[in-house]
Amino acid sequence: MKNEHFSAIWVIIIGRNKIPDTIETNRIYRLALASNTKDAYKFDKYAWKNTRRTPYPKNNPEFVKIYYSCVNADKKKDGRCVKHVFISKVNDLDVLVCYFEKRPHGNCRLENSHVFHHTPASTIAQIDELVSKMPGATAYKALVATNGDVEAPRNAAQCQYRRQKYLKNQKITCDEIKNLILLSYELNGFYKLLQPQPEASIVLMHDQMKQQFANLLTKTKEIIPPYYDTTFSLGEIYVSILGYRHVMLSEKPILPLAILMHDSKRELVHERFVQIINHELPDLHKKS
């Protein structure tokens, strides 16, 4: 391979599926990657800045050439140490990686550059899956035991960061709370209870349905059986529905009357729901 900045004897090392732990300049590493490790050419122990990519050669391109400049110990881009990556256009799993010093003078060398442990995307995906179920420290220990040093996370702090990021995404934001309150104002008469603490619970009852049920109580002497289908999961919340049989219709269908949305299965939540229903429909017990 020709280098316009630097003439040397290049040594080609083939048959690898990843960058070795110790790399040298004036080396070409030919990687045979797998479909789930297509980005393995990015991961060595140094920090790099991607500067550009071009077809190579220009006239009849057979590769995509990616240019990287080294990030030095001051965490600044230093173009005197560079890495070139050639990805075959025929087979993107066939990759050449070249390391060299762009000029024969100067004090920028790989061993003086900023050491940085890149984490493969596959490992990041494993971290994200585990931290959704367990603390970051536990996830780190599990991945080190499973993957070993090569595919392990950078450190325990990385797993803890991913855990905090996951927990943050699960939290209700101020905007979401405000939107919920604004929605309750717009749907005035539909929200009978909007309680975030100590246990989140929402009671919904449409005024027209409430009035229809109240009219039914006065127009029939039949017993109106209530039905309470309680506590089935809807995503991360539970939903309980209070319904009744409309005895004045020929098919006597079961219609919904009120809905309880809650985040726990505790009896206290259901007791609060019953209190709301008794307040809204004080004559309910006379026909049930």
Q: How far is CA 31 from CA 21, 87, 253, in A?
A: 14, 10, 68
Domain for residue 68, yes or no? Answer: yes
- Verify that 143 and 192 share a domain, yes or no: no
Number of compact structural domains in the chain: 3
| Distance (Å, whole) CA 108 – CA 117 | 20
Domain contains 6: no
Q: Are residues 107 and 145 in the same domain?
A: no
State the distance between the two ends of the chain, measured CA to CA, in whole angstroms. Answer: 89
pTM for this structure?
A: 0.41
- Cα(55)–Cα(237) distance, integer angstroms: 52
Is the predicted pLDDT of residue 19 greater than 80, yes or no?
A: no
Both 191 and 91 in one domain: the answer is no
- Rounded distance between C-alpha atoms, residue 281 and residue 250, angstroms: 25
**36-59 confidence digits (pLDDT tens):** 778 888 877 777 888 899 999 888
More confident position, 111 or 29? 29
Structure confidence at residue 268 as a pLDDT band (50, 70, 90): confident
Q: Are residues 193 and 212 both part of a single domain?
A: yes
The model's pLDDT over 170-189, given as tens digits with 9 standing for 90+, comes to 776 666 667 777 777 777 77
Least confident of 15-29, 120-134, 152-166: 15-29
Residue pair 108/142 in contact by the 8 Å Cβ criterion: no
Same domain (yes/no): 96, 130: no
Asked whether residue 3 is domain-assigned, the answer is no
30 lies in a domain?
Answer: yes
Domain end (from 134, 155, 170): 170
Instruction: Provide the angle, in degrees to the nearest 10, between the axes of the packed helices 121-131 and 136-147.
Output: 140
pLDDT of residue 187: 74
pLDDT at 284: 73
CATH no. for residue 53? 2.20.25.80
pLDDT band at 146 (very low <50, low <70, confident <90, very high): confident
Q: What is the pLDDT of residue 231?
A: 64
More confident residue, 246 or 44: 246
Q: Are residues 187 and 270 in the same domain?
A: yes
Residues 130 and 220 in one domain: no
63 and 161 in a common domain = no
pLDDT tens for each residue of 63-97: 999 998 888 767 777 766 788 999 999 998 889 89
CB burial class (10 A; 0-12, 13-18, 19+) of residue 172?
exposed
| 79/50 Cα distance (integer angstroms) | 11
Domain containing residue 216: 174-287
Are residues 280 and 198 part of one domain? yes
pLDDT at 54: 93
Tell me, yes or no, whether 87 lies in a domain.
yes
Q: To the nearest whole number, what is the mean pLDDT of the chain?
A: 79
* Assigned token pair, 274: 């019953």
Dihedral sign for Cα atoms in the order 206, 212, 216, 217: positive
For residue 13, the model assigns a pLDDT of 61
Please, which pLDDT band fits residue 6 given cuts at 50, 70 and 90?
very low
C-alpha angle with apex 139: 158 to 149, nearest 5 degrees? 70
In 3D space, the residue among 18, 43, 200 whose CA is nearest the CA of residue 119 turns out to be: 43
User: Is position 129 within any domain?
Assistant: yes
Q: Would you call 242 exposed, middle or buried from its count of C-beta atoms within 10 A (0-12, 13-18, 19+)?
A: buried
Q: Same structural domain for residues 255 and 218?
A: yes
Co-location of 37 and 70 in the same domain:
yes
Cα gap 109→102, rounded to integer Å: 10
Edge-to-edge, what's the strand order for the sheet holding 254-262?
A: 191-195, 201-204, 254-262, 237-245, 226-234
Q: Which helix (H) or strand (E) holds 241?
A: strand 237-245
On the question of pLDDT at 34 being above 60, the answer is yes
Reported confidence tier of residue 225, pLDDT bands at 50, 70, 90: confident
| Same domain membership, residue 267 and residue 204 | yes
